[in-house]
Structure formats: C-alpha cells, structure tokens
Structure 1
C-alpha cells in the first residue's frame, strides 16, 4: 500500500513538472510591422529610401531606424516574449538602452492601452526577453513597439506553446504624418512607446506616423519631395529644432507648398522649436532658438499672405513648463517634457481635425 502511494505521489510530481514545462514552452511567430506611411521593401524600415536616392545620407540612414513601428496582435497566452536582432550600434549617453534598441509592450485594458512590460536588450546584437508573464488566459489585445534609434533586423513574438495568437490590423485610424527632429524620433523618452507620436496615437486612436530624423530634419528639397508623397490626412512639421534660421527662411515655403500641391485639402500644422533649457545660460544657444522661432513664424505669415490655405501654428510657449526639469540633457525632453508637450499638442491637433471634419 505504502509503495503504491509513493508511486502515485512521484507520478503526480512528475506530471506537475511536465505541465509546468509545457506552459513555459514558447512558440515564436513573425508579424506584420505597422506604423509606416507606405509599405516598404524592408519591413523594418520606415521609408523605402531606395526610391529617393537624392535625399541626404544621414536621412536615409535614420529612416532605417524603427522609431514608431510596432506589431499588433491578440493572444490568450499567459506570457509574452520576444526575440529580436538589431545592428551592432550601441546606445547613446542621453537615452536608455531600452528606448534605443529595446522593446515595450502595451495591452488594452478597459478600452485603454496600458503599459505592461519591456524587452531589455542584451549585450549582443540579438536579444531574447520575456516582456510580461503570469497573466490570466483571457484574450488580450497587444502592441509591441520596436527600437527608436537602431535598425531592427528581425522580430519574433513568443507565446505559450498551446496559446492562440492572431495578427491585428493597425488599431489606429486616419494618417497623420509627423516630420521632425530627434524629438519626434523619440529622444529622450525612456521607452519606445513613449515617443510623442506613439503616445498621441494611443491617446486619440489616430495614426501618428513617426518621420523623425535625429539632427537631420532640415527641410531639404529632396526630403520635402519625399514627405509630400506620403499620403496623409494631416501633416505636422516639427522640423524647426534642426534647421538654422537661414535654412528656415530658404526652405520652409518649398516644403509647405510642395505638400500643399500634392495634398490640396490636408491641413498643415507647423510647430516652433522647444526652448533649449541650457539656452537660459548659454546665450548663443538661447539666441539661436529665438531666431529660429521668429523666422518660422515669419515664414508662416508670408505663406498665409500668399494664399496658402489651411495652415496652423503651435507656438513654443510653455511646451516644457517653467520649472526647467523637463529635459534629459538641456535639449531633448524627458518623459515629463513629452507629457507637457502632449498636453499642448493634443487638443490643438484635435481641434484642427474636427474643424476639417477628419474626425
């Protein structure tokens, strides 16, 4: 009798370990990458730059970074993992490694997107990480954002071996093209999903497309031609931070008129540059920002006089608050800074969309 009981106990323990092993097993799938203005030959590039051979090399390279791209899916898995590879590039000093070349996941809860976990990059170009675990087995709608500042080479999403996973279409409606600097691309948000275009998408349900090109948003003619070919319901131009006052004077009208000629009814929203926090002490920086903002306002006024329609303006006033705590390095917003920017951007952009009956 005792021998039989012992055998049953050992068998029960063995089966428990077997069940645990099975639930911890992962199956990995590749999903369609979303968040681009148009489809690309390389699924992880934001723009198919082979079609624009004349754009600057820096812009071409930066558009291989996966800022703003994501995968969308539903699953009943109790855990979600990822395997992904990036280039050999190392993260910069003013960003977290997670933002630069890691992942983060959002899961819809009570109708809203809620942060659920991160994929921490390893020390090599390929990483594997559990994003979230110990969940219930109900069906969940998920978003996984790709790295902001590195080129993604591959991405697979892992779920429990016996779980279901199905690909979603883009959960965000319409198309709002956001062309701009490193601030648009996501510096210095702490995670990929905290770049301001992505936050605006989750807040509003609208598709804000990230065309941020760090340090290189200078409104070159070839880039203006490229942006104008991106289908958009609205165009947001946040490129003043990278453009010198002289470049703003020389190039703004061409960019705006080119977009308008390709998209006759789409509103165009122009944003002044944020104040550089170190510009309060560095007088050269402070003067440059002042001149940038004065020049972009002047160009907008001239465009209106030239009868270019449906132009809108968001000023730099109070974009970062007044406590001087909203940047990482004096230039790039931290998460607090982005939050304050969104508090100003979101209602103004939504008002434009409502006025034009886009929403």
Structure 2
C-alpha cells in the first residue's frame, strides 16, 4: 500500500514560498564588494593586470583582470578577512598585497548587510625589469616647443578617453620632430594595443634608433615583429636579446624570448628562459605554465614535467569546468606516458 501524505494547503504553500524568498533575500544581501584601481607609482592606471582574491586561510576565492581603466572588482562577498594580491607579470612591476576586513554586522549583533570597499594599489618597478631599466638610463632631447605641446595634448586626450585625437596629436608632433623618442614610443604602444603590429614595429624601430638603450622599446619591437608573422621571429629574437641584456630580471622578456625560441626549435634555450621567468615571478602565471607544458610534452618528451606544469596552470587559471575536465584528462595521459617511456628516451 502506498503511504499517503497530507496535502499542502494553499496557505502553507504561500508560507513556504515566502520563507524561501526571505532566505534568498538574506543570502543576496550578504553581497559586499571590494573594488579599486591599479596604478604605477606615477599614478598611471594599468590595464590587464591579474588580481586574485584570497580568503583568511589564504585560499583563492577568485581571479580577475583590471579593465581598460585599471579597475578590478570582486562581488558577492560575505563578512571576513580577505587578501587582494596584484600580480603585474606583463609589466615588470612588483607584486603587491593588501588585507582588509569585510564586516557588516550591526552593533546590536543582529543581521548582516552589504558594503562597498575600495582598495587601490600603486606598484613599484621590479629590480632588473623593464621599467627599472628605463629609469636607469639618462636620456634627454632638445624638443621644439610646438612638438612638445602636441605631445602633451595627445597625452591629455588619452587621459580623457579620446584615443583617436591623441594619436593624431602624436603623429603631428613626430612630423615636426621626427626623432621625438617619447612620442614614437607612445604611438608605438597605442598601435600595439590596437593590434596594428606593422605600425607599432615601425614606430618602435625608429624609437630604438633614437634611444638604443630603451629596454621597453626593444621588447615591444620584438613583440610586434613576432605578432606580424613567424618569418619575423629571428628579427624579434635579436630585439628581445638586446632588451634582455638591459633588463636581465624581466619575466616578461624571458617568457616571450623562451616562447619564440620554442617555436623556432631552440628547445634548450627556450627551457632555460622559461624556467627563469617562472622563478622570477612570485605567483603562478598561467601563460608560463602553459608554455612550459607544451615544451615538455610536445618537444622535450618530459611527460611528468609537462603534467606538473598543467597542474600549476589549472591552479593559476580560472577555467571553465569543461576545460578543466579536458586538461585533467591530458594530465592523466601524460602521467601514463611517463610510466611507459623508458628512462633516457
């Protein structure tokens, strides 16, 4: 005999619905936000910076990147202690952390709400990195007044989010003073950001002719050439090698150099530079682990090392469940390959 249960009355159903709604609203009210901007020491906002949120046990709660204005945001946070860790791998700036407490409990001890917390960061150049190398070079030019005014007007346009006007001003400044290093370098950066790599390579080539000790210009020249086409990789490596001599502790230069060396079949030097880039970064950088995994798995046939790097890649990345499952399968296959591969092969 089937057991019978009393039917829920319409009133009971409404009460249950209201109770569920109250629980939902209570949960959604515990949704504090931590947000802020990431700047250089000179108060220049930095885009595409990795920012990680850690809980009081130093476990990752989320990871994001700064937007074009340099802003990061974490939402939906309950009360507790959090650490925000900024990892500017792509800019050769020092990592930085800040800890703050999210607390919304009322004085009476009853109930929690939501709040908005601001935490800005001002990052210092990393020793031996690109920016430190730039600061260590004494370079001066006697710039015509009208060219300087156009350059400054261009910078003002960029700060007001009018990039097209800024680019026109920079081009006009260069027309007046063709060897204007600051204008050439900034225009090169704008072209690079727009993925106009032929134009950015042209600007940076002129910039390094004017100032051959600019590690940053050499780096972006190499990066631009690499992005144009593989046939320019050898020229890119020449520029990157020169940049590395000026900024020997730059993870981003080491990484890009190692990446291109792997593509060109120079596996020994690729490994050396990628491992050094990994050592110089305090936090796990997904791009480095991904590149090392490819080098070990596809080129050097070091399957255990490739699996190790993919494990680190997963820890450092915020990947979708499908990609995580697929990567776990690849890791398992690599471990199996390592078992079945005789040592020395």
TM-score band, normalised by shorter chain: 0.3 to 0.5
Task: Give the structure-1-normalised TM-score.
Answer: 0.32
Higher relative contact order, chain-length normalized (CA < 8 Å, sep 6+): 1
Structure with greater strand percent: 1
Larger radius of gyration: 2
